[in-house]
A = this chain, B = another copy of it.
Amino acid sequence: MKRIALLLLGVGALVGGVASTAPKSGLADEEIAPIFGIKIPLGYRDWRLISVAHEAGNLNDLRAVLGNDVAVAAYQDGKLPFPDGAIIARLAWSYVPSEENNKVFGRAQSFVAGAPTNVQFMVKDSTKYASTGGWGFAQFKDGKPADEELLKTCFPCHVPVKARDYVFTGYAPTP
């Protein structure tokens, strides 16, 4: 019964969408990303996994792409475009060698997630965000939203994957 209650709380978090900031992070309610008016979705750290990636170069991060229930259902059903209410989250951490793991493997080969760098969101609302392919974009670092100048660059970068509803990341197959 306790489990059910906890899971129902979880459901609330998952369908909460962009309604409010996560209490755990201690963010103020007024932390709203410019242009698209997006807040940090409640409980996004517990969303399901879409895929993983590594960006080398200046970014030098390890990243996970998670989705809310609407987004993951669309991925799993292979449905495009994503329906309104879909939110895709890209979490990133610094790319850190693990000496502990390397010792066990007997060679320098292991890289793990270090400190968080930032989190980005794509929020589907075909009416509200009609001028940017139906997607709103946001980025937060330590709970603070990125500025308007940065967010203006999001949509143009996603145009090359218009055929996949402007989403780069594919769903990683089940091993």
Interface residues of A (CB under 8 A from B): 3-4, 7, 11, 15, 22, 24-25, 45-49, 51-57, 59, 62-64, 66, 69, 72, 91-93, 95, 98, 100-101, 103-105, 107, 109-113, 115-119, 140-141, 157, 160-161, 168-170, 172-175
Instruction: Specify how many copies of this chain sit in the oligomer.
Output: 2
Which of A3, A98, A109, A113 has the most CB atoms of chain B within a 10 A radius of its CB? A113
Which of A48, A52, A53 has the most CB atoms of chain B within a 10 A radius of its CB? A52
List the B side residues contacting A3 at CB < 8 Å. Answer: 15, 69
List the B side residues contacting A69 at CB < 8 Å. Answer: 3, 7
List the B side residues contacting A111 at CB < 8 Å. Answer: 53-56
Which of A48, A53, A98, A169 has the most CB atoms of chain B within a 10 A radius of its CB? A53
CB distance from A92 to the nearest CB of B (A): 6
A100-B160, A104-B157 in contact; A117/B175 too (CB < 8 A)? yes
A32 to B23, CA, bound (A): 42
Residue of B nearest to A64 (CB): B52
CB distance from A89 to the nearest CB of B (A): 9
A76 to B46, CA, bound (A): 11
List the B side residues contacting A25 at CB < 8 Å. Answer: 174
